Each structure stands twice: as structure tokens, then as C-alpha cells.
Amino acid sequence: MHPKLEGAIDQSIKIGSGFSGSLSMTRTIGRILSERVLKRPVTVVLPASSRFDWIAEGALDMGWAVPRVVARWAYDGLGQWRGKALKNLRAVARVPQDDRQMITLAPYAKLESLEQIAREKRPLRVAVRENPRFGPDAEEWGRVANAIFRQYGFSLKDIESWGGRVWAVPTDFTAVDEEIKKKEVDVVIGEASTQPIWKNVAGHGFRFLSLSEAAMAGLEKEGYERNMTPAGFLPGIAQPLLAVDESDFLLMTREEADDELVYAVAKIIDQNRRRIEEGAVVVQYVYTRP
């Protein structure tokens, strides 16, 4: 890295973000923070949502937890943070967003259930609506999909070992359009349930699955929370579906963070709710434990 660039980044306010809703909110907060309030450069680090280790160590000044529940896991030392609780994490703001994991089966795939997938071990084509991960984080990619599939006796790696294909897809309407037209995708699973990808999938007659109570109970033991997808949420959803909750954004910092920065960001959110609420209904801002 060029020394001048390295120096500028080192002196900047560093915020970790994802690519979708959190990035939109970060742009708004960062611009106001840089141009009007603290008048310091802001560096947005991508992809770096839920990088609580970086926040706890001070490598990031702030970062988004997506979804909300993973911040609690990091603070309490659960899930991937088991045995390494990050007790200096603090929440600055919560942006409510109703979201869940969706599971859909292609109408031409001759599939009825996840149990059938485990039983038949077919070489399926599975698109996962989750942003790619890189470096040390790569092994965490597909975490929620794997947690769900594990309750039914298989994993993404199992699907690949059966001769299938697994890949990441974005949120836009045409994310799996070509694969659907060519009948080259059998299962689409993932989050961002309000995004256009799911409208397209629903419009092509994909069937949305509900988790079994037994599977949900197993997932809750791992720290996941439940969400009910209401009937009529998308075309083809005729009754409520039990799903893994993926709701809410939390903007996180650490206990040792600069108070001036924390309260500046909280004030920006309070005074610019409409701009920041592009993908949410209400913003609640606090400075507390997750």
C-alpha cells in the first residue's frame, strides 16, 4: 500500500459493513460524519459485517452486526465465538428489519422436502443468498444454510460430494434468472427476504418450505431464533412458514471507543432517520451491551 494512502486510512474513522442495507446506511452516516460533524476521513471496510474481533481489538471503530442475534453470540461467547466472548462490545444503534432465511425448491426439481434431499443424495444445484467471504472468514460462508441442513442430516459439502454445485448469489432480481431459465438451479436458500431475488424465484413457481418444529428446536439450542413468514408474504406462500430469524442491523463499537465518535454517530442517526431508514421502518439508538 502506498505510504500516503496507508497514513490516511490509519487516521480515518473505520467502519465495517456488508454490501446491501448496511452499506447504504454507512454511506449516509459516513458522509455526514466526515463532511459536517467530525470532519475526519471515513474508511468503509468491505466485506466486514459482523467482524466483532476487529471491533473488539480496535481495528475497526464501528461495524454492523447482521443479523442482530450474532452480536449477542459474540458478547456471550456462543457459536463461532465459543470460549472467546468479546465482553467489551457495545451497541450504538439498532435498525429494525424483519428478515428471515428462505428455503425454496424449483418446480422442475421433483423435490418435496429437505428430508428427501438427505435421503436421495442427489447432485443438486444450490444457490445460497449470502455474500461471499474471503480469507480466514471463508470457512464461515454458508453458516446458516449449513445449520439448517444439519438438522436434516446433510450439509453444503455433502451436496458437493454427491456431485452437486453450491454457489453464492446477490440480492438483485436477475441473480438466478439464467439458471432458472436453463433449469440449472434446484434449491435457493438464504437471507434478505425482502429483496428482489425472492420475488423472481416466487414468480417462477419455486415452492417455499417451512422448517419442522424439531429442526427449529435444534436450531434454537444452537442460539438461532425463530421467525414466522406470514401467508401472502410472496406469491405461492399460502400459509405461515417457520423460519430462522435474520432480523435487524446493530451498529457496534467497543467499550474503549472515543465517546465523541459514539455520540456523534448516535446524533447523526437521530437527526437523519429518514435517510438512514431506506431499508427499515424504525431506528432505535442506544449505547449499551448487545
pLDDT tens-digit readout, 49-80: 999 999 999 999 999 999 999 999 999 999 88
Residue with cell 436458500: 189
pLDDT tens-digit readout, 94-127: 988 899 999 999 999 999 999 999 999 999 999 9
- The model's confidence at residue 278, banded by pLDDT at 50, 70 and 90, is low
* Span between the terminal Cα atoms of the chain, in Å: 35
- The model's confidence at residue 136, banded by pLDDT at 50, 70 and 90, is low
pLDDT at 34 over 90: yes
Quick one: pLDDT at residue 31?
94
Q: Delineate the domains of the chain, giving CATH numbers in brackets.
A: 3-97+248-288 (3.40.190.10), 102-244 (3.40.190.10)
pLDDT at 24 over 80: yes
Task: Average the pLDDT over each of 15-19, 89-93, 123-127, 249-253 and give the range with the smallest value.
Answer: 15-19
pLDDT tens-digit readout, 148-176: 999 999 999 999 999 999 999 999 999 99
Q: Is 192 in contact with 20 (CB distance < 8 Å)?
A: yes
pLDDT at 287 over 50: no
- The model's confidence at residue 281, banded by pLDDT at 50, 70 and 90, is very low
Q: What is the pTM of this model?
A: 0.87
Buried b (16+ CB within 10 A) or exposed e, 2-21: eeeeeeeeeebbbbbbbebb
Quick one: pLDDT at residue 56?
98
Quick one: pLDDT at residue 3?
83
pLDDT at 283 over 60: no
pLDDT at 207 over 80: yes
CA 71 distance to own-chain centroid:
12
Percentage of the residues of the chain whose pLDDT score is greater than 70: 93
- The model's confidence at residue 284, banded by pLDDT at 50, 70 and 90, is very low
pLDDT at 187 over 80: yes
pLDDT tens-digit readout, 221-247: 999 999 999 999 999 999 999 999 999
Q: Is 100 in contact with 193 (CB distance < 8 Å)?
A: yes
Write down the mean pLDDT value for the chain.
92
Quick one: pLDDT at residue 15?
98
pLDDT at 279 over 50: no
